[in-house]
Structure 1
């Protein structure tokens, strides 16, 4: 059990995409509801895009200055929504420039934990140097990671046999069971053309396998609308089906309630780990 009356200061630092920032904000609120203080780190423009936080929650926004002196990065671009897929690499370059400001914040504020995202390769060495415990909150679910990343031989050594868009529309060779959780052709083409698109939370071919669905997004508003496999455009018949389904959403209230209970259960377990890391294994 955690120490009674233990109050933590937890810093959270999502990638510069709304599909990452919103789940991190949801996690921040859950942590704050347990009586802890949260520092939510991002850039000024991104912070202004986020919904307001109840004044009774101790969630403080920390703005880091993102450089706009990166070639090919549009003016005032601070999130993936501000740039085309071809320019995400330039946003990442600007993002890497936040490391010094982040280090200064961490040294000055001395949080108990830093919860960071998958692209923050420079966070672990900074946190280790300053003796700040760290944890990754990944907005990708397990099925997504298996399809995108694969085993260690693929993730670390780059031995991915998939070379074409068509290769991504079937289960990878390391998945030894039947599954229809795969990329659609238009999604796969985007990844092949712009590899950085893979981390932007592309959804897969099954409802419920979308990135971040367990992080606070209401499933009643998340029914998938079918797209044309070649160009990704929505199909009129699928839109009509979506409207008909919307009328029946009351029947899903029990399912949503159970989903919320599971979400709270997982979040409580994570927060308990932050409160008492000696009960488990943490990355320090």
Structure 2
């Protein structure tokens, strides 16, 4: 076994999100362009006799009431897939991403657990295999295992890494309100959504090409999320007011919102201005990683 290892759990952002009507099992088919930021949580692990989890960081308090969170669920799933129930580790999650924010924090933490324990336990699973194991943990976990620009379809289990997508400068704003996904999807279903079409390829080589592609799709959950949590509209308006903002959109089912900028300087300036105007919000300049 490896003595210890650390893995980064980046924020997941939906640059576009199309949602179809619910299937017979209640799940919604999705078609989403997903990218990952250089902001997130950190998960450390070292071998131990049992599986345990400690929480640190500014976001730890929001998880204290959930001792069986997705990190441990992922660890149990990986141990079962390896057919080695005796494996143990002590995990420490340094939590920075806001909880229930539409940034995939829990799923990204779970994906980090799969990656880091795969190394600590010397299991030798490939990324594709880890993503398959992640399907039993949560719908977003397979995408988060890859942690690179990708197209997410099905209910999240069909992941296609993009062969061409640029790194993008952006700002993520979370206005502080948790948004449970259930009411948002219920309100969306009341609009009688249509089945998803195939959609255009998700490819771009630079910012302008990326903006042109993103203009073809929005976020289908934005309107129902705003109706449930009006502060999302305030966050979108704050981003739209920033000089240089090229695209403004809600991520996932909310409440976090994002804007894309041409330069890191304009993104930094926007994040600072919003933080000054709304000190009770989280406002962060980030880089969304490009296709490797």
TM-score (structure 2 length as normaliser)? 0.24
Q: Which structure has greater strand proportion? A: 2
When Rg is computed on C-alpha atoms for both structures, the one with the higher figure is 1
What TM-score do the two structures reach when normalised by structure 1?
0.25
